[in-house]
Amino acid sequence: MSSPPAKMEPMPVTVDHLTGLDDEQREAVLAARGPLCVLAGAGTGKTRTITHRIAHLVANGHVAAGQVLAVTFTSRAAGEMRSRLRAMDAQGTGTPVGSVQALTFHAAARRQLQYFWPRVVGDTGWQLLDTKFSVVAQAASRSRLQVSTDDVRDLAGEIEWAKASLISPEGYGAAVAKIQRDIPLDAEKVATVYAAYEKLKANRDGIALLDFDDLLLHTAGAIENDTAVAAEFRDRYRCFVVDEYQDVTPLQQRVLDAWLGNRDDLTVVGDANQTIYSFTGASPRYLLDFSRQFPDATVVRLERDYRSTPQVVSLANRVIAAARGRVAGSKLHLIGQREPGPSPTFHEHPDEVAEATAVARSIKRLVESGTAPAEIAVLYRINAQSEAYEEALTEAGIPFQVRGGEGFFSRQEIRQSLVALQRAAERSGGQERSDSGQDRGAEGSLPEIVRAVLEPLGLTAEPPAGTKARERWEALTALAELVDDEVAARPELEFPALMAELRMRADARHAPVVQGVTLASLHAAKGLEWDAVFLVGVADGTLPISHALAHGPDSEAVEEERRLLYVGITRARIHLELSWALARTPGGRQGRRPSRFLNGIAPQTQAEPSPSKPRRQKGATPRCRVCNAVLATAPSIMLRRCETCSVDVDDELLAQLKDWRLRVAKELKVPAYVVFTDNTLIAIAESLPADDAALVAIPGIGARKLEQFGPDVLDLVRSRQ
Ligand code: ATP
Ligand code: MG
What are the 10-residue block averages of pLDDT along the chain, 721 residues in total? Answer: 40 59 94 92 90 89 91 75 78 72 88 86 80 89 88 92 96 92 89 96 86 93 93 92 93 96 94 88 92 94 93 94 75 86 95 94 95 94 89 86 71 87 81 40 76 90 74 83 77 86 70 69 84 97 88 87 95 96 84 92 59 40 67 66 72 87 80 76 85 80 80 87 71
**How many C-beta neighbours within 10 Å does residue 430 have?**
10
Whether 46 has a binding-site annotation, put simply, is yes
Q: What does the alpha-carbon distance between residue 487 and residue 502 come to, in Å, rounded to a whole number?
A: 12
Residue of 25, 47, 335 to test ligand 1 pocket, by largest number of atoms within 8 Å of CB: 47
Q: What does the alpha-carbon distance between residue 148 and residue 568 come to, in Å, rounded to a whole number?
A: 34
E strands present in 41-95: 68-72
Q: What's the confidence (pLDDT) of residue 613?
A: 36
Which letter, b or e, does each residue of 335-363 get, where b requires 16 or more Cβ atoms within 10 Å of its Cβ?
Answer: bbbbeebeebebbbbebbbbbbbbbbebb
Q: What does the alpha-carbon distance between residue 529 and residue 489 come to, in Å, rounded to a whole number?
A: 38
For ligand 1, whether the C-beta of 17 sits within 6 Å is no
**How many C-beta neighbours within 10 Å does residue 204 have?**
12
Amino acid letter, residue 409? F
Q: What does the alpha-carbon distance between residue 417 and residue 267 come to, in Å, rounded to a whole number?
A: 51
Q: Are 71 and 108 in contact (CB under 8 A)?
A: yes
Whether 45 has a binding-site annotation, put simply, is yes
> Cβ neighbours of residue 174 under 8 Å, at least 6 residues apart?
none
Q: What does the alpha-carbon distance between residue 347 and residue 603 come to, in Å, rounded to a whole number?
A: 9
Q: Are 188 and 172 in contact (CB under 8 A)?
A: no
> Cβ neighbours of residue 106 under 8 Å, at least 6 residues apart?
212, 215, 216
Q: Quote the radius of gyration of the chain (alpha carbons, Å).
A: 29
Q: What does the alpha-carbon distance between residue 155 and residue 178 come to, in Å, rounded to a whole number?
A: 19
CA-to-CA dists, residue 565 to 278, 515, 536, 537, 543, angstroms = 15, 26, 10, 11, 8
Query: From ligand 2's centre to the CA of 248, what distance in Å?
Result: 15
Q: Are 589 and 546 in contact (CB under 8 A)?
A: no
Question: What count of Cα atoms within 13 Å lies in the side-chain half-sphere of residue 181?
Answer: 25
The atom of ligand 1 lying closest to the CA of 306 is: 16
**Which of 495, 520, 303 lies closest to 404, judged by CA?**
520
601 by DSSP, 3-state: which?
coil
Enter the pTM of the model.
0.67
Whether 47 has a binding-site annotation, put simply, is yes
Q: What's the confidence (pLDDT) of residue 9?
A: 46
Query: From ligand 1's centre to the CA of 312, what distance in Å?
Result: 16
For ligand 1, whether the C-beta of 281 sits within 6 Å is no
Q: What's the confidence (pLDDT) of residue 548?
A: 85
Q: Residue whose CA is closest, atom 31 of ligand 1?
A: 306
Q: Residue whose CA is closest, atom 30 of ligand 1?
A: 306
- Give, in degrees to the nearest 5, the angle at Cα 413 between 464 and 475: 55
Give the pairing type, strands 376-380 and 266-270: unpaired
Q: Are 543 and 596 in contact (CB under 8 A)?
A: no
Query: From ligand 2's centre to the CA of 74, what distance in Å?
Result: 11
